[in-house]
A and B are shown apart, each in its own frame.
Chain A
Amino acid sequence: MAGIYLHIPFCKQRCSYCNFHFTTNLNKSYELIEAMIKELVLKSKLFQTETISTIYLGGGTPSILNRLLIEKLVNTIYNNYTIETQKLEFTLEANPEDLIEDNLKFWKQIGINRLSIGVQSMHPETLQWFNRCHTVKQANLGIEKSTQYFDNFNLDLIYGIPIQHHNQLITTTQQILNFKPTHISSYCLTIESKTHLKHVLKQNPQLIPTEQFQIEQYNIVRTLLGQQGYMHYEVSNFSLNCFESKHNSAYWLGKPYLGIGPSAHSYIYPNRFWNISHNQKYIADINQNKSYYQKETLNTHQQFNEYIMFALRTKRGGSFDFIEQHFSKTLAEETLQKLSKLDPNDISIESDYFRLTPQGWLLSDAIASDLFKV
Chain B
Amino acid sequence: MKNIRNFCIIAHIDHGKSTLADRLLEYTNTITDRDMMDQVLDDMDLEREKGITIKSHAIQINYRFENQDYIFNLIDTPGHVDFSYEVSKALASCEGALLLVDASQGIQAQTISNLYLALDCDLEIIPVINKIDMDAAKVPEVTDQIVELIGCKPTDIILASGRTGIGINDILSAIIHRIPAPKGDPTLPLQALIFDSVFNSFRGIIIYFRIMNGTLSKNDQIQFVSTEKNYFAEEVGILKLKMQPKEKVNAGDVGYIITGIKNAKEVKVGDTITLAKNPGKAIDGFEEVKPMVFAGIFPVVTDDFEELRECMEKLQLNDSSLTFELETSQALGFGFRCGFLGLLHLEIIQERLEREYNQTVITTVPNVSFRATTTKQELIIVDNPIKMPDPVKINSIEEPFIRAQIITLPEFIGNIMKLCLAKRGNLLNQSYLTQTRVELIFEMPLTEIVFDFYDKLKSSTKGYASFDYTPCGYREADIVKMDILLNNEKVDALSSLIHRSKTHEFGRRLCEKLKELLPKQQFQIAIQAAVGAKVVARENISALRKDVTAKCYGGDVSRKRKLLEKQKEGKKRMKQIGNIEIPQSAFLAVLKLD
Contact = CB atoms under 8 A, between A and B. Distances in A.
B554 A365 contact: no
Interface in A358-374: 361-370, 372, 374
Max chain A CB contacts within 10 Å: which of B546, B560, B568, B572?
Answer: B546
Interface string B557-576: 11011001101110110000
A309 B552 contact: yes
B522 A343 contact: yes
Contacts of A236: 550-551
Interface in B536-594: 544-555, 557-558, 560-561, 564-565, 567-569, 571-572
Given A251-B553, A369-B567, A369-B571, A362 B558 contact: no
Interface stretch (A102-110, A130-138, A193-201, A258-266): A258-266
A274 interface: yes
A228 interface: no
Contacts of B547: 362-366
A212 B568 CA distance: 25
A187 B548 contact: no
Interface string A158-198: 00000000000000000000000000000111100000000
Nearest to B555: A265
Given A248-B553, A259-B555, A372 B565 contact: yes
Given A302-B561, A305-B561, A257 B554 contact: yes
A374 B566 CA distance: 9
Interface residues of B, number: 24
Interface in A80-133: none
A214 interface: yes
A251 B557 CA distance: 9
B343 to A, nearest CB: 36
Nearest to B547: A366
B560 to A, nearest CB: 7
A18 to B, nearest CB: 12
B557 A265 contact: yes
A72 B571 CA distance: 50
Interface of A is mostly: mixed
Interface in A296-351: 296, 302, 305-306, 309-310, 313, 342-343
B552 A310 contact: yes
Contact of B548 (A189, A235, A263, A265): A235
Contacts of B555: 5, 7, 259, 263-265, 274
Contacts of A248: 553
Interface in B112-147: none
Contacts of B564: 305, 309, 365, 368-369, 372
Contacts of A211: 545-546
A343 B564 CA distance: 21
Contacts of B560: 309
B567 A265 contact: no
Nearest to B523: A343
A5 B548 contact: no
Given A251-B553, A272-B558, A362 B565 contact: no
A17 to B, nearest CB: 10
Contacts of A292: none
Contact of A190 (B544, B550, B553): B550
Contact of A366 (B544, B551, B557, B565): B544
Given A366-B544, A372-B564, A274 B572 contact: no
Nearest to A265: B555
Q: How many of chain A's residues touch chain B, expressed as a range?
A: 35 or more
Nearest to B542: A211
Contacts, number: 101
Interface string A55-98: 00000000000000000000000000000000000000000000
Nearest to B569: A374
Max chain B CB contacts within 10 Å: which of A3, A257, A363?
Answer: A363
A368 B554 CA distance: 18
Contacts of A212: 545
Interface in A247-278: 248, 251-252, 257, 259, 263-267, 272, 274
Contacts of A267: 554, 557
A188 B554 contact: no
Contacts of A7: 555
Contacts of A370: 568, 571
A309 B551 CA distance: 12
A147 to B, nearest CB: 25
A42 interface: no
Max chain B CB contacts within 10 Å: which of A263, A305, A342?
Answer: A305
A362 B545 contact: yes
Contact of B568 (A189, A252, A342, A369): A369
A189 B551 CA distance: 10
A207 interface: no
Nearest to A305: B561
A215 interface: yes
B58 to A, nearest CB: 51
Contacts of A309: 552, 557, 560-561, 564
A372 B568 contact: yes
A218 to B, nearest CB: 8
Contact of B572 (A188, A266, A272, A374): A374
Given A366-B522, A369-B567, A374-B569, A306 B561 contact: yes
A366 B557 CA distance: 16
Contacts of A259: 554-555
A302 B561 CA distance: 8
Nearest to B544: A366
B523 to A, nearest CB: 8
Contacts of A342: 522
Contacts of A362: 545-548
B542 to A, nearest CB: 9
A366 B558 CA distance: 17
Nearest to B572: A374
Max chain A CB contacts within 10 Å: which of B522, B548, B553?
Answer: B548
Contacts of B567: 365, 369
25 contacts: A5-B554, A187-B551, A211-B545, A211-B546, A215-B545, A215-B546, A236-B551, A251-B552, A259-B554, A264-B554, A305-B564, A306-B557, A309-B552, A310-B552, A313-B548, A361-B548, A362-B547, A363-B546, A365-B548, A365-B567, A366-B522, A372-B564, A372-B565, A374-B565, A374-B572
The 6 A-B residue pairs with the shortest CB-CB distance, nearest first, are A369-B564, A366-B547, A372-B568, A187-B550, A364-B548, A369-B567
Interface of A: 3, 5, 7, 187-190, 211-212, 214-215, 235-236, 248, 251-252, 257, 259, 263-267, 272, 274, 296, 302, 305-306, 309-310, 313, 342-343, 361-370, 372, 374
Given A363-B522, A364-B548, A370-B568, 7 more contacts: A189-B550, A251-B553, A309-B552, A362-B548, A365-B547, A367-B522, A369-B571
